[in-house]
A and B are shown apart, each in its own frame.
Chain A
Amino acid sequence: MNEIQNDPWPSWGLYPSALNQSYQDLLSRLSLIPKEFDTILPRGFGRSYGDTCLNDHGLLLGTSRLNHFISLDESNGIIRCESGVSFDQILQLIVPKGWFLPVTPGTKFVTVAGAIANDVHGKNHHAAGNFGHHVVCFELLRSNGERLICSRTENPEMFFATIGGLGLTGFITWAEFRLSKIASAWIEQEQIQFYSLKEFFELSAQSEEQYEYTVSWADCVSNQSDIRGIFMRGKIASPQAQDNFKVHALSSIKTVPLFFPEWILNKFSIRAFNEMYFRKNLSEQRTDIIHYDPFFYPLDSIHHWNKIYGHRGFLQYQFVVPYKHDSGKALAQILDILKRSQMGSFLAVLKTFGSKKSEGLMSFPQEGVTLALDFPNYGPSLLKVLEQCDTIVREAKGSVYPAKDARMSAESFKVFYPRLAEFEQYVDPQFSSSFWRRVK
Chain B
Amino acid sequence: MKKILIIGATSAIAQEVAKIYAHEKAELVLWGRNTQMLDIIAQDLKVHGAAQVTNISHDLNDLDAHEKTVAQVWNQLQKVDVILLAHGVLGNQLEAENDLDELLQIITSNYISHVSLLTFLAQKMREQKSGTLAVISSVAGDRGKQSNYVYGSAKAGKTVFVDGLRNRLFTAGVHVINFKLGFVDTPMTKDFKKGPLWAKPNLVAQGIVKGIEAKKDTVYLPFFWRFIMLIIKSIPESIFKKLKM
Chain A residues with a Cβ under 8 A of chain B: 8, 25, 28-30, 65, 68-72, 93, 250, 257
Contacts of A71 in B (CB 8 A): 43, 47
Q: Nearest residue in A to B200 (C-beta to C-beta)? A: A250
Q: Nearest residue in B to A30 (C-beta to C-beta)? A: B36
Report yes or no: B190 in contact with A28, Cβ–Cβ below 8 A: no
**Does B236 lie at the interface of the complex (its beta carbon under 8 Å from any beta carbon of A)?**
no
Contacts of B41 in A (CB 8 A): 68
Bound complex: CA A128 to CA B185 (Å) = 37
**Central interface residue in B36, B44, B187, B203, by most chain A CB within 10 Å:** B44
Contacts of B187 in A (CB 8 A): 25, 65
Main secondary structure of the interface of B (DSSP, over half): helix
Q: Nearest residue in B to A71 (C-beta to C-beta)? A: B47
Contacts of B37 in A (CB 8 A): 28
Q: Would you list which residues of chain B between 31 and 49 have a CB under 8 Å from chain A?
A: 36-37, 40-41, 43-44, 47-48
Contacts of A68 in B (CB 8 A): 40-41, 43-44
| Contact residue among A28, A72, A257 (Cβ-Cβ distance under 8 Å from B196) | A257
Report yes or no: A93 in contact with B47, Cβ–Cβ below 8 A: yes
| Contact residue among A30, A65, A70 (Cβ-Cβ distance under 8 Å from B47) | A70
Q: Known A-B contacts: A71-B43, A72-B47, A93-B48. Give 18 more (CB < 8 A).
A: A8-B193, A25-B187, A25-B190, A28-B36, A65-B187, A68-B40, A68-B41, A68-B43, A69-B43, A69-B44, A69-B47, A69-B48, A70-B43, A70-B44, A70-B47, A250-B202, A250-B203, A257-B196
Q: Nearest residue in B to A96 (C-beta to C-beta)? A: B23
User: What's the least CB distance linking B38 to chain A, in Å?
Assistant: 11
Nearest 3 A/B pairs, CB to CB: A69-B47, A68-B44, A69-B44
Contacts of B40 in A (CB 8 A): 28-29, 68
Main secondary structure of the interface of A (DSSP, over half): loop
Chain B residues with a Cβ under 8 A of chain A: 36-37, 40-41, 43-44, 47-48, 187, 190, 193, 196, 202-203
Between-chain CB contacts (< 8 Å), 26 pairs: A8-B193, A25-B187, A25-B190, A28-B36, A28-B40, A29-B40, A30-B36, A65-B187, A68-B40, A68-B41, A68-B43, A68-B44, A69-B43, A69-B44, A69-B47, A70-B43, A70-B44, A70-B47, A71-B43, A71-B47, A72-B47, A93-B47, A93-B48, A250-B202, A250-B203, A257-B196
Contacts of A257 in B (CB 8 A): 196
Contacts of A250 in B (CB 8 A): 202-203
Bound complex: CA A28 to CA B187 (Å) = 12
User: What's the least CB distance linking A88 to chain B, in Å?
Assistant: 10
Q: Nearest residue in B to A69 (C-beta to C-beta)? A: B47
Q: Nearest residue in A to B10 (C-beta to C-beta)? A: A28
Bound complex: CA A69 to CA B50 (Å) = 13
Bound complex: CA A69 to CA B187 (Å) = 19
Contacts of A8 in B (CB 8 A): 193
Contacts of B190 in A (CB 8 A): 25
Contacts of B202 in A (CB 8 A): 250
Bound complex: CA A434 to CA B220 (Å) = 43
User: What's the least CB distance linking A65 to chain B, in Å?
Assistant: 7
